[in-house]
Amino acid sequence: MPTFSNIVLFITTILSALMAGLFYAWSISVMPGLARISDRAFIEAMQGMNRAILNPVFFIAFIGCVFLLPASAWLSFNRPVSLRFMLVLAAAAVYLVGVFGVTAAGNVPLNESLDKFQLAGAASEDLATFRRHFEASWNRFNQVRTVAAFVVLLLMVAACWWREV
């Protein structure tokens, strides 16, 4: 019979997988696809997508991991300290720093500057300059959080497999 701790662990793992998949998809398809379009179209598309992603379904997974990863670690704690606890604690730390922290400190400020950029009447030089700065920085931050989210997922899957004796 599943325990409350195992149910929370499973839900947390699913949310972690959703976040890893989201960042991975952006890295391997969305951004390479957008790299092929004009500066104006790139900025317009990114503005639309960055506005659209701010929705309850995204926040359930993104913010849910912020709370459920530490909660899963706490629920996994026992004496002596188990490998499961250590795996989930490591996953929580990696997520808080490498996913949530990088997003808050890196991607969000870039997204805010993107949102404020006025496309109407922007000269082609202004579009190119903004895109060059935005795209390179945004992609670097997204690569970091993609790797971090994948590490979190691996740790969580390992924690799910670990059986206490």
Q: Rounded to whole angstroms, how far apart are CA atoms 10 and 155?
A: 12
Q: What is the pLDDT of residues 8-21, one digit of tens each?
A: 999 999 999 999 99
* Number of domain units in the chain: 1
Q: What is the pLDDT of residues 122-153, one digit of tens each?
A: 999 999 999 999 999 999 999 999 999 999 99
Q: Rounded to whole angstroms, how far apart are CA atoms 61 and 58?
A: 6
| pLDDT-derived band at 165, boundaries 50, 70, 90 | very low
- Predicted confidence at residue 90, as pLDDT, reads 98
pTM of structure:
0.93
CB contact at 8 A, 85 and 78? yes
DSSP category for residue 121: T
| pLDDT-derived band at 164, boundaries 50, 70, 90 | low
Give the residue numbers spanning the domain of 94.
Answer: 4-161
Q: What is the pLDDT of residues 62-119, one digit of tens each?
A: 999 999 999 999 999 987 889 999 999 999 999 999 999 999 999 999 999 999 999 9
How distant is the alpha carbon of residue 158 from its chain centre?
20
